Amino acid sequence: MPMAADHIEQLIRAAIPDAQVTVTDLVGDGDHYAARVVSASFAGLPRVRQHQRVYAALGSRMGGELHALQLTTAVPSGDEQ
Amino acid sequence: MSDVKERIAELVGKHDVVLFMKGTTLFPQCGFSSRAVAILDHLEVPFETIDVLQDAEIRQGIKEFSDWPTVPQLYVKGEFVGGSDIMMEMFESGELKQLVAANAD
């Protein structure tokens, strides 16, 4: 079952409250998304750990109903903080 | 404790650069795996691939081993580096080239 973009966003925000989340439906099929997650809580974490936190927020959906999620994570730049 | 974890540990210990993927370098079965292979090809380093579609035990086991829900997954010198998005970011920044150059024979 495809997932709605705002559902993905909600799940990530629920787990990482300060996150700025941008979800893009790449193909328009509700199945291939890109997400950019920016959170101060990522500071000092290696990329793998940052991505693991987002995957944890999505739980078992990742790799299942959510087949394709291109993920980028970042710490807010100085001006945004 | 579990055989599959030992098998995976052996694979990532034996080869400097290992990509767990769907399909083979010639016939990747998924866009993300295809992208991961393209990145490694571009770096011109020798790498080993494991086709998880040929081995259900590893296909499931690697997700638990790395605490990572998707394939492809890249290991360099026994360390988990990430999936295709991280590979792409590190490729673009030059970090991946440095990492494999420092660790591949």
Domains of chain A in start order, with CATH, are 5-80 (3.30.300.90)
Q: What is the structure's pLDDT at A1?
A: 56
> Is residue A81's pLDDT more than 50?
no
pLDDT tens track for B23-76: 999 999 999 999 999 999 999 999 999 999 999 999 999 999 999 999 999 999
CATH, residue B53: 3.40.30.10
Asked if A70 and B89 come within 8 Å (Cβ–Cβ), the reply is no
> Is residue A68's pLDDT more than 60?
yes
Choice among A10-24, A49-63, A66-80, B90-104 with the minimum mean pLDDT = A66-80
Measured in angstroms, the CA of B71 and the nearest CA of chain A are apart by: 9
Asked if residue A12 lies in contact with residue A21, where contact means CB atoms within 8 angstroms, the answer is yes
Asked if A52 and B31 come within 8 Å (Cβ–Cβ), the reply is no
Distance CA A32, CA B53 (A): 21
> Is residue B1's pLDDT more than 80?
no
Asked if B69 and A55 come within 8 Å (Cβ–Cβ), the reply is yes
Closest Cα in chain B to A49: B82
Output the six-digit token pair for A60: 């078992």
Asked if residue B87 lies in contact with residue A51, where contact means CB atoms within 8 angstroms, the answer is no
Domain span at B41: 3-103
Section A4-16 average pLDDT: 94
Which of B67, B81, B86, B96 is best to mutate for the A interface (most A CBs within 10 A)? B86
The whole model's pTM is what? 0.88
> Is residue B2's pLDDT more than 80?
no
Bridge partners (DSSP) of residue B82 are B74
> Is residue B100's pLDDT more than 70?
yes
Task: Give the three-state DSSP class for A17.
Answer: coil
Residues of A with CB under 8 A from a CB of B: 47-48, 51-52, 55, 58, 62-63, 68, 70-72
Number of structural domains found in chain B: 1
